[in-house]
Amino acid sequence: MSGEFHHSRSFGIESFSALVFVVAIGVATLTAIPLRAASADIATCDRLAAFPDDKDKPADVKGSYDIAKTDVAAALKACKLAAAAPDVPRRINFELGRAFEFNGRNAEAVKAYRKAADAGSTSAMIGLGTLLVNGNGLKTNPTEARMWFEKAANAGDVTGMTNLASIYGGGVGVPVDFAMARSWFAKAAAANSSEGMYQLGLMTQDGDGGTKDDGAAKALFEKAASLDHGGALERLGAYAEAGRAGPKDEKAAIGFYKRAAALGSDDAVSALKRLQCPFTMKDKQGKTAGSICFDGKN
């Protein structure tokens, strides 16, 4: 890949006390109050901090990849209260970790993620591993991070697979091993991960860790693009523009780039500007004074 490994991106993430006076009469009424409170806190924690791809998330909870700034304080409060209740589902400690992380309190996020990860939450394993790789104010530990990614990957979590592949492909705490990276990306792709398809396509187009095959790479990009992967759409644009693994088609290239740009691909934005604004005007000092652009319809 021209010396550059494309890393997976993922997770582009008051103490509770209750004083209950138990008397001979009214025990059921008194103890029901904290139970209802715990249930409400769990619901609020789920609503504000659930992660869409978390396998433990209730089916009726949508989740969000980001916790809105305006919701962080409320999420943190609800998740703290929910996590303090007895027999709380493991996802709540994962969600508490997310709330801490979005609040910039990564040391506390690690503790919450670790508790959920120890209970078997693969999402928490990934959250913990990501913090241990990136640091973000913490001491990095790539060896432990790899262990958590591997545990999540072996449990069938596709993000764990792509992150583990990135560890080997990027040589993070281990020697670079493209073959191992390609193997894990292939497993993720087989599990219908658009990121796995895209990354495997990158390795296949460049021959990293295995056979170089433009046709096979393009097919992987097409599968990932059907799942709205911006990077894969950008690659299809580049292939159409260059006539790689198919006929040259600038109009099709612009169409792919537009879709990729709408999904946040900076490379696609640059490509669109290059194709749609091919003529640059300069003033007498040699400074850019404007460009002549086309809409790509003709």
H/E run at residue 101: helix 90-102
d(CA 2, CA 15): 51
Reading the block at residue 96, the tokens are 């508490």
Q: Considering only CA atoms, which of 275, 166, 138 is closest in space to residue 291?
A: 275
CA dihedral (254, 258, 261, 265) positive or negative? negative
| pTM beyond 0.85, yes or no | no
d(CA 152, CA 178): 20
Tens-of-pLDDT digits for all 298 residues of the chain? 333 333 333 322 222 223 232 333 333 333 444 556 579 999 999 999 999 999 999 999 999 999 999 999 999 999 999 999 988 999 999 999 999 999 999 999 999 999 999 999 999 999 999 999 998 889 999 999 999 999 999 999 999 999 999 999 999 999 999 999 999 999 999 999 999 999 999 999 999 999 999 999 999 999 999 999 999 999 999 999 999 999 999 999 999 999 999 999 999 999 999 887 867 667 767 776 665 766 544 4
Q: What is the pLDDT of residue 29?
A: 35
d(CA 238, CA 256): 9
**DSSP SS3 for 281:** strand
**8 Å CB contact between 232 and 221:** yes
Q: Considering only CA atoms, which of 13, 14, 36 is closest in space to residue 84?
A: 14
d(CA 223, CA 204): 14
**8 Å CB contact between 75 and 28:** no
**8 Å CB contact between 199 and 207:** no
Q: What are the two backbone dihedrals, phi and then psi, of residue 271, each rounded to the nearest 5 degrees?
A: -65, -40
d(CA 49, CA 127): 13
The secondary structure of residue 136, as a DSSP letter, is: T
**8 Å CB contact between 201 and 232:** yes
Q: What is the pLDDT of residue 9?
A: 32
CA dihedral (93, 97, 103, 104) positive or negative? positive
d(CA 31, CA 87): 16
